Amino acid sequence: MVLPRCYLNPMKNRRIKIRDILKSTKPGTTVKAKGWVRTKRGNKNLNFIALNDGSTIHSIQIVVDVPEFEDNILQQITTGACISVNGTLVESMGKGQTVEIQAKEIKVYGTADPETYPLQKKGHSLEFLREIAHLRPRTNTFGAVLRVRHAMAFAIHKYFNDRGFCCLHTPIITGSDAEGAGNMFRVSTLDPECLPRTENGAVDYSRDFFGRETKLTVSGQLEGELAALALSEIYTFGPTFRAENSNTARHLAEFWMVEPEMAFYDLTDNMDLAEDFIKHLINHALTNCMDDLEFLNKMYDRDLVARMNSIVDNNFARLTYTEAVEILKKSGKDFEFPVNWGCDLQSEHETFLVETHFKKPVILTDYPRDIKAFYMKQNEGSKTVRAMDVLFPRIGEIIGGSQREENHEKLSARARELKIPEKDIWWYLETRKFGTAPHSGFGLGFERLILFVTGMSNIRDVIPFPRTPKNAEF
RNA sequence: UCCCCAGUAGCUCAGUCGGUAGAGCAGGUGGCUGUUAACCACCUUGUCCGUGGUUCGAGUCCGCGCUGGGGAGCCA
């Protein structure tokens, strides 16, 4: 294996990450570890410090011979303090760990007054931790969640890169509301106390920063399609904003979405990619994040790893919306909302299909045209469109996508029917006028994926700083 | 936005029939020569979410508001 060239000075006495100390450092070696104190315990001769630097769920035990250190140094070492430790890695005399650091030198970078530091050795509720989001990355739970989140972000880029997809940065600020995926946040530099008006009294957006009304994006899809019809296969991975007053464990006002868009893919190709993609990501977590998954499995979700394995090992069920409606009607189950062809499926219906009927992920296709977006490819007869939703246990819809309407006539007719002004999407329509191609794509809710691979149950606990109605602290 | 539930010590929670509040943990002090959410002893800590009402008396009952949670809708 050719190691990448390293421009750092290897001779410098640099700290070693705790993950690397635990994984590969030999006992007898002098090491320097730096991190935050989880607990300190012991007696007047001997102290044990559990030190964690976030490189792994595991802490390393620091053994301190009390008489060799000044009292005021040891007094400063309390839960939450940040320290640097020089010492010898030794095999542990106690149970519970194989190696530990016998401290020779300790430097305190930052104390944490135990009277006021909010994190204790004992467990806290997730609700409480949300109120101290600036400190919660220091807990085992959020360390694990954030490492898994990183691993998934990395795996997404790698998956697409390995398959020749181009990462496309679509705009955050947009002038169009074309996707209709929800209410949008306004972007403006106008003074709300003193808005410029036109002659008829409307707000004069021509005086605004962009010379027109602008919002935060609800999806990068439309721009993604433009690039797919040039580069063949692209994906976006960026923040998305929905100003819905949703108050659930599955919605955020600011979330991250992955949106691949592929020329020459029909709906089946689209489904094949979605299924392979999501299985690949779950498998990546299973093979790279097992320490963290074991912790989460133990503390939050006893079925987590088993459920992840079952997703990877089984094919997703694939059926049409119409077939799903039949199954629901024949189920004999007394749903709160009755099932009728043409209505959108309710949560209880999706849950029944995934968790009771099929007992595995389900891909539903060919939804009624009237409950789906204008850009989806119309089937023969026009009653349904080539849409697909991937439904997962516990979290419901994790992916929504479709084959796109590539026919210029049909697409503009549908836009007109839904009263979408052509002036807002003329550029989108032009791709169907010049060198159009069959193409497909989907959107994966990144936080919903993280919910699934961490076993967390609230989406506010899988993003570092959640944005929800009435909450934009931190 | 709608329905349901909750808000009591720094944290997690108990508080019976309406009679002015308690436990565990955390924190402090002392003890302990290998601890593992260390242990043992002692000690400290309250705007009972806010507001208005009922009552001789409200943590407890009622109205309104705020915040949080669960479910629904919107969706990823």
* ipTM summary value: 0.89
pLDDT digits (tens), chain A, 474 positions: 566 676 766 666 689 999 999 987 888 999 999 999 999 988 888 999 999 999 999 999 999 999 999 888 899 999 999 999 999 999 998 888 899 999 999 999 999 988 888 888 777 889 999 999 999 999 999 999 999 999 999 999 999 999 999 999 999 999 876 566 678 999 999 998 899 999 999 999 999 999 999 999 999 999 999 999 999 999 999 999 999 888 899 999 999 999 999 999 999 999 999 999 999 999 999 999 999 999 999 999 989 999 999 999 999 999 999 999 999 999 888 888 889 999 999 999 999 999 999 999 999 999 999 999 999 999 988 799 999 999 999 999 999 999 999 999 999 999 999 888 888 899 999 999 999 999 999 999 999 999 999 999 999 999 999 999 888 888
Nearest nt to the A114 alpha carbon by C1': B27
**Residue–nucleotide distance: A118 CA to B57 C1' (Å):** 38
pLDDT of A169:
97
**Residue–nucleotide distance: A460 CA to B46 C1' (Å):** 31
**Residue–nucleotide distance: A148 CA to B75 C1' (Å):** 24
Distance CA A321, CA A327 (A): 10
pLDDT of A180:
62
Distance CA A84, CA A58 (A): 17
Distance CA A143, CA A136 (A): 8
Nucleic chain B contacts, protein chain A, residues 198-257, CB cut-off 7 A: 219, 242, 244-253, 255, 257
pLDDT of A382:
73
Q: How far is CA A304 from CA A246, A280, A361, A419, A451, in A?
A: 27, 17, 15, 45, 11
Asked whether strand B has any atom less than 7 Å from the CB of A79, the reply is yes
pLDDT of A178:
59
Nucleotides of B under 7 A from a protein CB: 1-2, 10-13, 24-28, 31-39, 66-76
**Residue–nucleotide distance: A112 CA to B20 C1' (Å):** 37
Please, which residues have CB within 8 angstroms of residue A218's CB and are 6 or more apart in sequence?
A: A177, A179, A181, A182, A184, A240, A241, A242
Nucleic chain B contacts, protein chain A, residues 92-111, CB cut-off 7 A: 92-97, 100, 102
Asked whether strand B has any atom less than 7 Å from the CB of A124, the reply is yes
Distance CA A417, CA A85 (A): 69
- Residues paired with residue A442 on neighbouring β-strands, in sequence order: A401
pLDDT of A305:
95
**Residue–nucleotide distance: A107 CA to B35 C1' (Å):** 22
Distance CA A453, CA A145 (A): 9
Nucleic chain B contacts, protein chain A, residues 163-202, CB cut-off 7 A: 181-182
The whole-model pTM stands at 0.94
Asked whether strand B has any atom less than 7 Å from the CB of A470, the reply is yes
B33 closest protein residue (CA to C1'): A45
- Residue A109 tokens read as 């970078």
**Residue–nucleotide distance: A431 CA to B14 C1' (Å):** 67
**Residue–nucleotide distance: A73 CA to B30 C1' (Å):** 20
Nucleic chain B contacts, protein chain A, residues 276-335, CB cut-off 7 A: none
Nucleic chain B contacts, protein chain A, residues 127-146, CB cut-off 7 A: 127-128, 130
- Residue A461 tokens read as 């606990």
Asked whether strand B has any atom less than 7 Å from the CB of A460, the reply is yes
